[in-house]
A = this chain, B = another copy of it.
Amino acid sequence: MSSSFRIHGLVAATHTPFHADGSLNLSIVQQQFAMLHSDGVRYAFIGGTTGESSSLTLDERLQLADRWSRVVRGTDLQLIVHVGSNCLDDSVSLAKQAQQLGVAAVSAVAPSYFKPGNVQTLVESMSKIASAAPELPFYYYEIPTMTGINIWPSEFLEAATPRIPNLSGIKFTSSNLMEYQLCRRHSNSKFDIPFGFDEMLLPALSLGAIGAVGSSYNFAAPIYRRVMQAFAVNDLQAARDEQMRAVRLIKLLASYGYMAAAKTVMKLRGVDVGPPRLPIAGLTNDQQAELHRDLDQMGFFSWL
């Protein structure tokens, strides 16, 4: 149990690498690690939304976590393993493995085909998972745009406090910054609330965020590190300019379909994580070439 666990700085929500035929390509994990290390990123979030965990079999998720834990052994990169699933029994299996692997923390999105009917049922669902890795800090993963769940995260903290002893906080992927403040200040700021929208990092920093989890930290971490550095020395204009670069990057990727485009950017940076799996459509070769040109014109590669 470790309620004093705190995530400082950037957490890359890593892609799951596939071969061109869609099969798992674990040999790439080493390269993903190397790029994060080289970009100064010290945490990796494994098998989350960006990692397409909902498109992986349980066995693949176990293999993926296992590989990452072996790759990072002896390094200072810490792992937070995502174990959320519609099937809580799968989540339990993943949480048990995570504890055995000795990773830094686990996190889980709520089931969303069936949505928890109220905050108590949400807490019971998360408690089942968290209690399967009782020695690890647990992060509830709030992301209403994906789940469609409308339970205030601050109410989750309130109801979960007596039920989940290893609750460390919330991976907060929502633009509701009123709730963000309520979560950060809950119980005398007891909880760790890493922020999940890359394009809103600077606003989160203004509210006191110390950690952030996101997919573009895989391939554009230098931009965000400059946001954080400029913010730290009160150079807000520089922070805004860097944040605006991130916004332009994300807007561009979104115009191609964010998930598929982000995997293409990884490839362009030399780490071929392959295409996404269905139900996400990959980019065609033509689209990839066009995206490459757009990134060039924007100056993206000079920002790294």
Binding site for B on A (CB under 8 A): 49, 52, 54-58, 60, 86-90, 110-118, 120-122, 124-125, 128, 146-148, 175-178, 181-182, 185, 197, 199-200, 202-208, 234, 236, 239-240, 243-244, 247, 250-251, 257, 259, 277-281
Q: Can you list 28 A-B pairs, Cβ within 8 angstroms, ordered by A?
A: A49-B113, A52-B114, A54-B86, A54-B111, A55-B86, A55-B88, A55-B89, A55-B111, A55-B114, A56-B87, A57-B58, A57-B87, A57-B90, A88-B279, A112-B113, A117-B257, A117-B281, A148-B148, A177-B177, A178-B197, A181-B247, A202-B207, A203-B204, A206-B206, A206-B236, A207-B240, A208-B236, A234-B234
Cβ of A243: which chain B residues have Cβ within 8 Å of it?
Answer: 181, 207
* B54 near A278: Cβ-Cβ < 8 Å: no
* A178 near B207: Cβ-Cβ < 8 Å: no
* A117 near B250: Cβ-Cβ < 8 Å: no
Q: How far is the CA of A260 from the CA of B293 in the complex (A)?
A: 41
Cβ of A147: which chain B residues have Cβ within 8 Å of it?
Answer: 113
Cβ of A86: which chain B residues have Cβ within 8 Å of it?
Answer: 54-55, 86, 113
Q: How far is the CB of A241 from chain B (nearest CB, A)?
A: 10
* A88 near B278: Cβ-Cβ < 8 Å: yes
Cβ of A90: which chain B residues have Cβ within 8 Å of it?
Answer: 57
Q: How far is the CA of A57 from the CA of B279 in the complex (A)?
A: 20
Cβ of A118: which chain B residues have Cβ within 8 Å of it?
Answer: 281
* A117 near B280: Cβ-Cβ < 8 Å: yes
Residue of chain B at shortest CB distance from A280: B114
* B87 near A178: Cβ-Cβ < 8 Å: no
